[in-house]
Every structure is written in C-alpha cells, then in structure tokens.
Amino acid sequence: MLKIQPERLFSIQHEADFQALALTIFQYQANHIPVYQQYLNALKIDPAKIQSIQEIPFLPIEFFKNNSICSDPTHIEITFSSSGTTGNETSKHPVNDLQIYKQSYRKAFEHFYGPLQDYCILALLPSYLERSGSSLIYMCEDIIEQTKQNGSGFYLNEFAQIKHIIQENSSHKKIMLIGVTYALLDFAEQMPFKMEHTIVMETGGMKGRRKELIRDELHAQLKQGFGVDTIHSEYGMTELLSQGYSKGNGLYNCPPWMRILTRDTEDALSIQPMGKTGGINVIDLANINSCSFIATQDLGRVHNDGSFEVIGRFDHSDIRGCNLMVL
C-alpha cells in the first residue's frame, strides 16, 4: 500500500500541491493496481511519460464490476458494493484503509458545513438499510455517532417522528435531513410542513420506486413540501472515497483533494476545456489504494471556479457511449 501521510492528503491548499500528489499517486497506481496497469498497457501508455493530470488516462468505472481494484488484496478491511438494479452486476470497491475513508467524509462535511457536533442528523435511507455493503450507510452511521446529539439516527417511514424532532429542535439546533430521493418525495407528499433551520439533502435514487424526475422538477416538489429555499445534494458513488456537495441550484463543489474534469464523448482520452459538456472524470486522491482516476457514466460540465454540474448520464455506456438519458 502507498503510505502517504493523511495530513498531506487532507491539507491541500494550492494547485501545485494537488498536481504533485496526483502524479505521485498515479505513478504508484500505474505500477501496483493490476487492472489499471493492464488498461494502461492496452492503451500503450507509458506512465513515466505522464507529466500532468490532463494526460492521465481515467479508468472506466465499469471495471469495478468484474475486478478487484486495490493495491493489497491480502489486507482488505471492508468491501463496499453498489445497489444495482435487478439483473445488473454491482460494483465492488475493496478498501484497504478505512481510516482514510473516515477522514475523507468527516473533513469534507466540515469543510462545507462546519463541525459535525453542531448538527442533529436525520437519515431517511430505507432502501440502503435493506442491504449490506453500502458506503453511504457506513458514512451516515459514523457521522450520526460523531454528532452526539439526541435524535440523530436512521429512520424508515417514521415521518411523524422526524417532523416532531425537527419542530422540537430546530429553534436551537442545526438540523440536517439526509434522504434517498424517493423517500424524501414520499415524506413531502404525505406530511408537508415548513422546516425551520433545516438543511434537506438528497442523495439521489428512485431505486425503481417512483418515476424518474429531472432535477429542477424534483427540487421544486421538495422545496414546496418542506418549505425550504434550497435543496442540497451529495455527489458520491461506491467507487469513490470522497463526495462533492451542492448547496442548491445543481452546482457542486469538491473538497480540496477531489477534482472533476470532463472528457470528450467521442474521444475518451481527450480532456475538455472548462465550460464544455462531456463525460465526468473524477480525481479522488483519497482512493490511494484503489484507483484515483475514474471515468464515470455521468455527463456534466465544469465551471471556471471549479464547481460542476451533472446534467445527464450515458445510457448503457461503454467508454464512448453517446446515448444520453436526462436526469
């Protein structure tokens, strides 16, 4: 395993620091992650000649479905898996060092929202609780424990109880309601009320329970049902150990050790300029012992300030797929 001091990883402040660490991690992964090594060989890429992050080939996310992508398969602390739909293969992400994951999501949360201890966190994630191996559940369990607040916890369909907790505590405590999309919609429809001093964060996912909605329509329904001005969102996935966050309007930001680039939909190795729509490539430096350079199936664009938006998905995408399914 690559030993990098967490302080170096989670204290990045300058572009030069990010670039240097990204290239160090790339050189290590190109030589120690067999699947990535084979992929680079197939592309006839010589890792020693890579001089910038724009030149790094990104591993298609589909590789996580059929391969164990980690640097040390003899020391796996946990394996996260995606939910998947019936009949579809799920992605699996073996993790060598859980402490890196914990530091990543704790520090990212506090980077955007402040100390965890300031919050009462209510997690409305029924579909995730019905299965094992969810990295989202692992994260929420830990941050709920970190809050040390009465009321923080997981909830299924106890909408009345959630409403009571929010109404009893919101005048003197920060509340965050984190929910899978379909459960938040059920809540907003069955028990609408004005949430005071409450952040509503959707993590995506209809999970086949409801009709898919475009983001603007979804957020409009949630804002109306909960009486809030904005809906926050999380951008994360099983294959990553970091998340981006949106505080509204569909614009996401990354913590300093994560970066989004976009690739040409017709030439997967070509990185797009800022502002141009393309396939989303994620650099997640917390993925030290897996792969930090992942080509996702999402479509989006990156703005000059580093924020990004997700505007669609490749439908049944291979690395060049161009059928788009609007989110």
Q: Give every CB contact of residue 16 below 8 A, 6+ residues apart in sequence.
A: none
- Alpha helices of 148-254 — where are they, by DSSP H? 159-169, 181-190, 215-226
Residue 120 pLDDT: 96
Tell me: pLDDT of 111 over 80: yes
- Sorting pLDDT into bands at 50, 70 and 90, what band is 84? low
In the structure encoding, which two tokens stand for residue 310, read together?
């997700």
Residue 215 pLDDT: 83
Mean pLDDT of 289-301: 96
pTM for this model (two decimals): 0.91
Residue 163 pLDDT: 96
How far apart (Å, rounded) are the C-alpha atoms in residues 327 and 212?
Answer: 8
> 125 vs 137, 195, 223, CA distance in Å?
8, 19, 19
Residue 101 pLDDT: 97
How far apart (Å, rounded) are the C-alpha atoms in residues 313 and 300?
Answer: 9
Residue 216 pLDDT: 87
Tell me: pLDDT of 323 over 70: no
Q: Which residues pair with 325 in a beta bridge?
A: 313
Tell me: pLDDT of 318 over 60: no
Of residues 265 and 321, the one with the higher pLDDT is: 265
> 158 vs 126, 161, 266, CA distance in Å?
11, 5, 47
- Residue matched to tokens 């009709």: 211
Contact 242, 108 (CB under 8 A): yes
Residue-wise pLDDT for 209-234, tens only, equals 667 777 889 999 999 999 999 999 99
Tell me: pLDDT of 300 over 70: yes
- Alpha helices of the chain — where are they, by DSSP H? 6-9, 15-32, 34-42, 63-66, 98-113, 126-129, 135-147, 159-169, 181-190, 215-226
Residue-wise pLDDT for 247-265, tens only, equals 998 899 999 999 999 999 8
- What amino acid occupies position 34? P
Residue 208 pLDDT: 60
Q: Which residues pair with 326 in a beta bridge?
A: 312
User: DSSP characters for 111-144?
Assistant: HHH--GGGEEEEEE-HHHHTSS--HHHHHHHHHH
How far apart (Å, rounded) are the C-alpha atoms in residues 173 and 149?
Answer: 10
Residue 131 pLDDT: 79
Residue 260 pLDDT: 98
Tell me: pLDDT of 129 over 80: no
Residue 85 pLDDT: 54
Residue-wise pLDDT for 140-178, tens only, equals 999 999 999 989 999 988 999 999 999 998 888 899 999
Contact 186, 156 (CB under 8 A): no
Residue 327 pLDDT: 34
Mean pLDDT of 308-322: 63
Q: Which CATH number fits domain 6-77+257-326: 3.40.50.300, 3.50.50.60, 2.30.38.10, 3.40.50.2000?
A: 2.30.38.10
Pairing of strands 232-235, 244-246: antiparallel
Mean pLDDT of 121-125: 95
Residue-wise pLDDT for 26-77, tens only, equals 999 999 999 999 999 999 999 999 999 999 999 999 999 999 999 999 999 9
| Radius of gyration over every alpha carbon of the chain, rounded to an integer in angstroms | 20
Residue 201 pLDDT: 97
